[in-house]
Every structure is written in structure tokens, then in C-alpha cells.
Chains A and B, each alone.
Chain A
């Protein structure tokens, strides 16, 4: 039922909302901050559909408050799944002691993600609980939930204002997680008005205090449509630690299919 409603909403072009707002004050009241917030999210999601699959080589650089660094290297295979969350296979290459460790994730919009971990030393595939979404990913400032695919149903929305960030005119939208296991009470996202790309996200912890700020840099366009930031910077305001997530190479439409995302491929991933 929810999905049916969503699909209907998706078909309404955004300009229709603007027309309504400008032309008829009666309908403009229907365009309250919650509707506007959601319509921005829907447009953001719509503009990022149809990319199919991707393979990325990424590194993460962890900086602590004392300036020490620690590096992780990984490969990410992703498959876009229609009307549900994406499928992902992450293979770790560095640090050396976790080389060959692989993580399979079937993310879902409305129910908990399904996750498996492969431990190469034991040759063991372990189904793990996806309740750890608020926990740090590989000791970094990114939580698992910060890295999962953006799905409309994961939040409720509230449009706050317009503001210029990184030289771009942005919508400022507040997002409240619908999952009670999220580590956040709310997120505030700056989405640029031209391409609907997130430019900045603030994360507020369970006590409502500002915990982290994520900034998106070095946006590049792929397949003449899809924008990806080559550099993501997550700053933790409490611990003063920060993590850079760098994309070294990214390829789309590589021919991956459902068959590349199962326990057999997880076991032989490298």
C-alpha cells in the first residue's frame, strides 16, 4: 500500500508543486513544509535512478584529534534494486589483517537489512544482525547507516529554508529517521536546487546535540546523469576525529546482476 502511494507521488513532477504554490493559495496550504520536504527527497531519489550497478575502489582515511592517520582500502560492488534498497558487496583490502574480509548487504526500505560477513581465516560466512546501523563502520566516523542507500521511507521530512552552501543555492531539509534503531534524532541536509545533490548533512545524536557534519566535495557526473562526490568528509564535533572517504575509481553499468550478490560470491570475493 505504502509503495503504491509512493509510486503515485513519484509521477507528479516537481514543477507541478511550484505551479500550485504560486497560482492557488488554497492548494499552497497543502504544500506545507512536510510536503515540500518530502517532494525534495522524492526528486533527489528520482534523479538518481536507473544507474544499474557500479564498482568502486575507495579508501578511507581516519584522522584522530592528535593528527594520527589510519588507512583503509576497499572495493564496493553495488546493484540498484527497483522499489527496494540496493544490494552491496564490500571487499576489504587494507589494513592487511582484514584483507579478504567481505560484507554482503541487502538493504531494504521498510524492513531490516539482511547482512552477512565473510571471515577468510575461518572460511566462515556469518549472518549478522543489521541492528548495528548506528555503530562505526571500520572504526571510522561513518556509521553503517550513513553509508546505506538513500530511500524515501527511511525518514520523515520537513523543509526548513533556502540557504547557499559551497556556492550553491540549497534547500535545507530536516530528516527524522523512521527506524527506532537509528543513532540519530534528526539530520539536516542541504540539497542543491539545481541538481538535487546533497552538499552537506548535519547529524544530531540521541540527546539532540550536533554530533557530526558530512560535506560532499569534488562532485563528478557519470553517464551524463548521475552525480557522485569523489570526496566525503565526516567531522565529529565531540571527539574532533574526522574521516575522509575517497573514491579512486568508479564504473557504472559493469554488467553485475543479482547472481553476483549471494553467499557464494561473498566467499570467493577478493
Chain B
């Protein structure tokens, strides 16, 4: 044993591993759907467990590091929601103002809160959460150069990740099932198309600016009818797209004014879409230590009702109450009202608090209202739910 440890010591010393860290997250989740399901096979209770450890090694004075973050969710109802992913497996090298990242990673672009139009590097892991905030790990070569004229980033993505979809026995699914086996691509290279992206971002006094360009496989599929008339199915089709993105944020005192805009072209359509709004934080409401944040955003899509996103002409209103207590308790309420379909809206309430140094409790409630069949939200009309998460951090 001693000899073995000596051997490890001599192997590791030359590369000087300066830090090894193992941390992670384990979550217990229960979803309760209190309305009768649209389809009889759908459950009312949907419990699941998540494990997401993170391994981190760094060497040569942290100019090199390796991060490995596998993920697995075991869902006791929906087989499609039971899934694993490598969220990160990335080598990072820092050479002064230049950073190289090679491997599987996640990137965020954008400024707005209600939807993330410009953020197109990672595929959405939609089975994780209906808000689209969860992402699949994306293989990439990512270079960042920081200068006095802003941050320049370049991405090469050699492999495409397919979107995840809820299965037959899951809630919050389309009436016609999506069959991943039937997936088609515009590119003959299919999942191996080499995608390219570029972004410049900068902070200029009270402004944050970002300009981006993406050329490659569109993360959001089109759906084509497939299967037989008696057993209809949907086929996901991923076209190639070219997208120009703009992000702006302006700070004036406690106001944050935000804009995200995209111009996208694919084989079927060319369109512009925007999210414009503000976030205002009232510090210490009524002489207390509580902060109250107001968020208002308007989502617009040139394609109108034929848009593939819910936010074609929608108003989002949000309220965030931070108690600023030792347990970092926070309540967030958000509501989206469709301005074309007046009977279509969704609302979310989220409350979090820390129970111990390692444990956090999260309660979520979602309500969906849609009466018109051609409204994209119609599929979720019977799927209001309450969700309880217990997160254990180690």
C-alpha cells in the first residue's frame, strides 16, 4: 500500500495537481398533478431522484483544470424522463487573456428573464423543466479572448445533441407522441455537422452589450407528421440555421432595462423576434430588510400565431421577494399572458429556503390556461402541478 501511494505521489507530482474537489447535488422531487389527466395512462404523482456530482482537478497553479459533471435522473413514472447526461467534461487552459476550453460544456448568452432567445449553444433538456432553463452538455472547442475592447468568443461544435421529449406516460406532453427514432436532419452530416458560433460582449459604463452569430443545426426542431392514421406520430426535424443575436442591458439606478433580439434564417422561414423589458428592485420595502423586484417583459415574434414558440406576442410579469434572511428565503411569482389568445396564460410560483448548511427546500406551482386548440399552450391545459424539491448539496 505504501509503495502504491509512493507511486501515485511520483506520478502526480510532475503535473502538480494543486486541487482536487468533489462536490455535488442530490435531489428528491415530487410532482403532484391535481387535475384529471388528458390521457388515462398519465399519472397524478411523479416522484424522481437526481444525482449530479462534480469532480474538479486543477494543476500548474490553476492554469489547467478538468471538470467532470455527470447527471442522472431516475423518474419512477416516465421512462423518457429517466435520463443521464454528461453536463460537463471539460479541460480548461488559461494563458493570460486567452482561455481554451475543450470538451462538453454549458454556455449562457443573454440578459432577459422570461425567455432566452439568443442563447442557442446548448440543447434544452425539456424533460427536466418546462421553463427550458435546463440544458444538455454540448461538445465544443471554445476560445475566449479578453481585451480592453470586450470579450471575443469563438465556438466550434462537432456534435449535435437532440432535444429530450416527455414520453407516453409523462404529463406535459403533446397529444401526438414524438418519436425520437424518426429524427431527420437537413444536413447530410446529421448529428456530426460542424456548428460555428461567435460572440462579442462588453461592459461600457452603464451598458452591457452582446453581439452573436450562430451557423449550424437549429436546436429547436420542426415536427412533421409520421406514423399511421390510427397511430399518428411526430417526427423531429432539425434544419440548419443562421442566427444573428443582440443583447443589451442598461442600468439606471435600481432599473435594469433589457433587450434581446434575434434574426434567424432557416430553410422554412426568415424572421425576427425580441424580448424587451425591465427589472426594478425596490430595496428594503416598507423600512424592512426585504427586497421586492418587479420584472416586466414583452415577447414578440414576427411569425405571429404560426411561431414555434409560445411567446409570439406575450406579456410577462414577475415579482421577486427576497427576505434577505440567514436562510436566503425567496419567493418568485411569474405570469405570462398571451395578447393574441386572450384565454391563454400561464403562471408560476416558486419559493426556496435553506434548511441546513447542506439542504435546500424548493416549492413550485404551475398553472396553465388555454382554451383554443391552435394555441401552443393547449397541450398543458390539464397539467397544473405542484412540485416539491429537496436538494442535498455535498
Give bound CA distance, A59 to B328, whole Å: 17
Give bound CA distance, A79 to B391, whole Å: 36
Q: Please state if A114 and B108 are interface contacts (CB–CB under 8 Å).
A: no
Nearest chain B CB to A203 CB, angstrom units = 14
Q: Please state if A129 and B289 are interface contacts (CB–CB under 8 Å).
A: no
Which A-chain residue is minimally distant from B105 (CB atoms)?
A: A123
Give bound CA distance, A127 to B257, whole Å: 11
Task: List residues 64-99 of chain A with CB under 8 A from any CB of chain B.
Answer: 64, 68, 70-71, 94-99
Q: Which residue from A138, A183, A264 sits with its C-beta under 8 Å from B151?
A: A264
Q: Please state if B358 and A96 are interface contacts (CB–CB under 8 Å).
A: yes
Give bound CA distance, A207 to B287, whole Å: 10
For B107, list chain A residues within 8 Å (CB).
Answer: 123
Q: Please state if B253 and A95 are interface contacts (CB–CB under 8 Å).
A: no
B340 at the A interface (CB under 8 A): no
Q: Please state if B203 and A139 are interface contacts (CB–CB under 8 Å).
A: no
Q: Please state if B357 and A114 are interface contacts (CB–CB under 8 Å).
A: no
How many B residues face the partner with a CB closer than 8 A? 44
Nearest chain A CB to B155 CB, angstrom units = 14
A132 at the B interface (CB under 8 A): yes
* Per-residue interface assignment for chain B, residues 179 to 216, with 1 indicating a CB less than 8 Å from any chain A CB and 0 otherwise: 00000000000000000000001010000100000000
Determine, out of B36-44, B73-81, B89-97, B167-175, the stretch whose residues face the partner at the interface.
Answer: B89-97
A residues sitting closer than 8 Å to B (CB atoms) are: 62, 64, 68, 70-71, 94-99, 112, 114, 116, 122-125, 127-129, 131-132, 134-136, 138-140, 181, 183, 206-207, 259, 262-264, 268, 270
- 13 A-B residue pairs with Cβ-Cβ distance under 8 Å, sorted by A, are A70-B357, A97-B393, A98-B328, A99-B393, A122-B108, A127-B256, A129-B255, A132-B281, A135-B283, A259-B96, A263-B203, A264-B146, A268-B94
B residues sitting closer than 8 Å to A (CB atoms) are: 21, 23, 56, 65, 92, 94, 96-97, 99, 106-108, 110, 133, 144, 146, 151, 201, 203, 208, 249, 251, 253-256, 281, 283-284, 287, 289, 291, 324-328, 354, 357-358, 360, 391, 393-394
**Known contacts A124-B110, A131-B281, A132-B283; 8 further A-B pairs (Cβ under 8 A):** A70-B357, A96-B357, A96-B358, A132-B281, A135-B324, A207-B287, A262-B146, A264-B99
